Amino acid sequence: MQVNAAHTSVKLPADWQLRLQHGLLPAPAPGRLPSAALLPAVVTPAAVLVPIIARPTPTLLLTTRAGNLRRHAGQISFPGGRLEASDADPIAAALRETQEEVGIAADFVQVLGFLPDQVVLSGYRVTPVVALVSPGFALRSDDAEVAEIFEMPLELIMDAENFQPTRRTLRGVEVTLRDLHYEGRVVWGATAAMLLSLHDALLRQP
């Protein structure tokens, strides 16, 4: 996998796993809220898994959502979804959704901690569950929800300059978001915000 040459490169620290253990939250916690004009009237609890694949050069696993979905069609996201009645907590929801969407079983997953919750305009409060995933899993995508599964170098998010400010109009309100570009894909919105939070966690000294 090649990173666009336009990106600056900041190396992943050798102690990145120790930094994550120090920098991640031990339990779900609120994050920054959207502006009052964009804040949903009602929010539904949801969770995503932020899977770091433990390869010699660590990667993040992401998906491109199917184009026919009613919400966030075609956007890049982490595997996840709303908490169901059968889910004991956000971890259970993230693990269940990950197996349903991309086929990675919980046996391959070691939960490391949490990033701050993200409230999205579609009415969800999303808890990002960061996890280390052992290689050897077999991917199996749910074609009804997932158009593509891909990996991106974890190192890419180390450089804040790789997150480009972009003006967007959301529900009639002009906002500045931080977009991340990778191999022709644009990661934006809540997923990009989660990656920025992960960037911050990786920078914290243990």
Condensed to tens digits (0 to 9), the pLDDT of residues 116-150 reads 999 888 889 999 999 999 999 999 999 888 999 99
Residue 69: its pLDDT value, please? 63
Contacts of 142 (CB under 8 A, 6+ apart): 100, 101, 102
> Domain residues for 42?
16-155
Asked whether residue 64 is domain-assigned, the answer is yes
Asked whether residue 102 is domain-assigned, the answer is yes
Q: pTM, whole model, 2 decimals?
A: 0.91
Q: What is the CATH number of the domain that holds 98?
A: 3.90.79.10
Burial group, residue 51, by CB count within 10 angstroms (0-12, 13-18, 19+): buried
Residue 199: its pLDDT value, please? 97
Asked whether residue 179 is domain-assigned, the answer is no
Please tell me the total count of domains within the chain. 1
Asked whether residue 107 is domain-assigned, the answer is yes
| Structure confidence at residue 171 as a pLDDT band (50, 70, 90) | low
Asked whether residue 7 is domain-assigned, the answer is no
Asked whether residue 183 is domain-assigned, the answer is no
